[in-house]
Each structure stands twice: as C-alpha cells, then as structure tokens.
Amino acid sequence: MYYLGLDIGSSSIKIALVETDTGKSVGVVQEPETEMSMLAIKNGWAEQNPEDWWGHACLGIKRLIKTHDISSEEIIGIGISYQMHGLVVVDADNKVLRNSIIWCDSRAVPIGQKAFEVIGEEKCSEYLLNSPSNFTASKLKWVKDNEPDIFSKIHKFMLPGDYIAMRFSGKINTTVSGLSEGIFWDFKKKEIASFLMDYYGLDASLVPDIVETFGIQSRVDAKGASESGLQVGTPILYRAGDQPNNALSLNVFNPGEVAATGGTSGVVYAVTNSLSVKESARVNNFAHVNYSPGNDSRIGKLLCINGSGIQYRWLLNNLDVASYDEMNKLAEEVPVGSDGVVIIPFGNGAERMLNNQEVGTRLLNINLNNHGKGHLCRAALEGIAFSFVYGMEIMESDGIEVNVMRAGNDNLFRSKIFSETVATLIGYDIEIYNTTGAIGAARAGLLKDGDYEVFGKAIIENDYIMTFKPLRNKAEYQRAYQLWKKELEITINYI
C-alpha cells in the first residue's frame, strides 16, 4: 500500500509515492516537465490559474500510477504541501472567480503596512505574531477594494493547498497552520483574528471550516476520482505550507530543531515554543504543523534569505565554468577567508532580514594580480554561508535555542565548504537528508495516529546521508566572518 504526496509549487507540481509500512520513496514525478508560467499584468504582480495546478496534479498522479504499475486501490492516503500565502477565491458552486494571487505578488504591501500602523505594532505582534504585511488576508482586502464585483460573489477564500483538497473532495476546509500563514489566526485568543477581519471588512463566513493538520480531513468524491484517477473514498490525511512541510520532511518538530534550505533563496525555519516577537520585522512566525490551540504552542520562525543560491548560479553562468562541481573544486584550492575577498550576496531584491533594504551583490577586496576564479567561488560560498549565520544570530536574539540543523541535499548543502562554514560558526551539527516536499507530504500519512517515533525512524532509515560537524579550529572562520560582517555593516550604513 502507498501514500501519495503532492507539492503544489509555483514552478511545478511534484507528486510522490511512499510505502505505507516503511515510508520508503517509490517514485517522484514532476508536471509540467518545464516550468509553469506566471501572469504579471503589472510590475510586482504574480498570478496563476488554480485550474492549471489541478490539471498538472491529475496528469502527474496518472503518470506515477502507470510508471510504477500499481492500482489506484493501493493508494490509501493523500498528503498535500503547497506554496504559502497564496489566495484562491471561489463562488457558492466552488468555481474559481479569478486567478490566484500567489506568494511573490506584492500588490497588497501598502494595505498590510497601513493595517500594521493603524492597528498598532504592539497588538499585531502580540496577537498575530506578525505584521499583516503582504500575506493572504491583505490580498483578500485588495480584491475587496479593487474588484468589488468579484468580491461580492466570494463564498470562501482558500490557500493553494485548500483548493487542491477541494478539487479532490468537493469540501472546503483549512488548518490552523494555514490560517496563521495567511495572518488570519489570533495566537493570544486562539481563534480567528476577528479584529483584523473587522478592520479589513471581511465577514467570518468567508473562512473555511477548520480541520486538524493530521488525520482524515476529507475524502475523494466521485468527481475528484474521475479526474485524478484515484479511488472514491481515498482520505486526505495531511496539509501544510511548503516551509512547515519542509521542516516536517526533515523531522523538525521540537524546540531546538532547525530546518534549512539552500535553493535560489535560502530559508531557516526554527521550531520554538516561545511567542517572542522581538524580531517580527525581520522574522515571520507561523503555527507549525504540530501546533495545537489547546496545549502545544509549537511556532515555526521563518527567516528568508533572497540572495542565496541565485548568487552561486550567477557565477556559474558568468565565470566560464562547466558545473557547480568545477566551481567547488576551484574553491577548495583557496584558503578559508578567500585571501580577503568578500562577496555580499544580496542581489535578489530587498532583504527582509536587513530591514527590507536592497543591498545588492557586492564584490570587495579584489587584488587584480593575485585573485582569480577560485577566490570568487570560495568568497561566494562563504558569503552565502555567512548570510545564513547572520540570520541565525537574528533568530537567536529572538529566543531561539538550537541544537541541530537539518537540510535537504540541495546544491549549497552538498558543498563541503558551505556546510562546514555554517556548522563551524553556529556551533552545531548540520544533518543532510535526501528528501523532497512531495515525499514529506506523502510520508505524513504515517502521522495520522500521532506516532512521531515511527515517522522519524522512516526518515533516518530512508533519507539520511551525512552530518557536517563544527570544526575544532574556528578562529580562521570567525576572522573571515567578522570581516564579511564589517563590510556588510559598512554597506548598510552607506545606503
């Protein structure tokens, strides 16, 4: 028997199968094989048609079943991971009323900022753990203000994962974790944030029914079965946004555990039971997948680093080198600290952890007689690693205590230089696992009965690759980091 996992991204839909008895991954497919498009009618806008997500999901499910020669009757549960902060709106017949306003769309920034100022920073921080910012609630308010005809027809709003679950089952529901990422959840009263809803003029009837993150949320109906190829009655057992789901995929549930990713952008996601919001201007706070309004305040603190893997990719495209492996080999020929060469890697837009300043990428201290490609490669890896360390310092000042970081086996964390630099400076292990969001969402079916020990064992036995430990000789790493940090602070002060 198998669990099916879907990861509804903005670039593609990934679908995975795992064995129910061992949690072993059987296969993963991606639809479409090329990147999905985004509609940008105006600068700063980003929309996608939710029907496209569903169509690609159905194609992928059928391809996975055919490729592995299994029966749909053997799939006994579904888990869903999805791009966070998106807005989907439907009418009373569950028909989509407009394209989804997705996570990277910035049109609602002024709305969220005004709400933060009018409601007050203290109240937003205490009750929402965040500014309303550019999250789902603010996007819904934008529709109300700018598309009143559409808004008048809205029966329910949903997050992207809620929409996919609705297409399977015909039922509309969501989770507390999902509501918190949309900034609809009041952490103090442990209920829908009525004060924000009232301020935005949003009726409580627009909020979907709330279900548990784990357990039977709904079941595939006849229409969902005919379109997806699954069996009528197959239960949806789990749903979460991509970053909480990434943490779940890496067995990160408890205070002291941190999940990290090092793709185009970098993310540090730390679990805590602290409601501290000292750094709420730079760090987001959401209900983690194992948050319970009753007695378990598991909060996921999320810090995003826009200028991360995109910096290394830019070098790959512009240095006349063949591969990341070649770049890593060139970097290994250069000592720690890159002979004083510094790269500040924030060239991918404004950085929230730098108080939304747009610092750009900076290349500093080049000696034209002595420095070459290897110095640039090492300085880039170190600069990105230092940005992770800098972010961890921000999170630790917000009350995070850490004993382990877990990361997927992506480009940056495959680099020994990158991972050893981070591990040495933060002072704890980095465990590397070969997993994906779709696999994690599928494997979450193991948690339907709340057995975290069985779930953790499945990850260790199937996904664990290696551990990078802090090096004993920290001095040269600390000197290099302090130089980088000094150059960053000079840059920030100059701007």
Kindly write down the DSSP assignment for every residue of 170-191, as one continuous string: S--EE-HHHHHHTT-EETTTTE
Q: Are 439 and 462 within 8 A, CB to CB?
A: no
Kindly indicate whether the domain formed by 2-245 is annotated with CATH number 3.30.420.40: yes
Instruction: Dump pLDDT digits (tens) for 269-316.
Output: 999 988 878 887 789 999 999 998 876 689 999 999 999 999 999 999
Please tell me if the domain spanning 2-245 has the same topology as the one spanning 251-429+469-494: yes
Q: Are 158 and 90 within 8 A, CB to CB?
A: yes
The Cα–Cα gap between 303 and 136 comes to 18
Kindly indicate whether the domain formed by 251-429+469-494 is annotated with CATH number 3.40.50.720: no
Residue boundaries of the structural domains of the chain: 2-245, 251-429+469-494
Instruction: Give 256's Cβ-side CA count (13 Å radius).
Output: 4
Name the H helices within 357-474. 373-397, 411-414, 416-426, 437-443, 452-463
Nearest 10 degrees: Cα torsion 430, 433, 438, 440: -80
Q: What pLDDT score was predicted for residue 237?
A: 98
Q: What pLDDT score was predicted for residue 495?
A: 78
Q: What pLDDT score was predicted for residue 344?
A: 97
Instruction: State which residues of the chain have pLDDT below 50.
Output: none
Q: What pLDDT score was predicted for residue 295?
A: 63
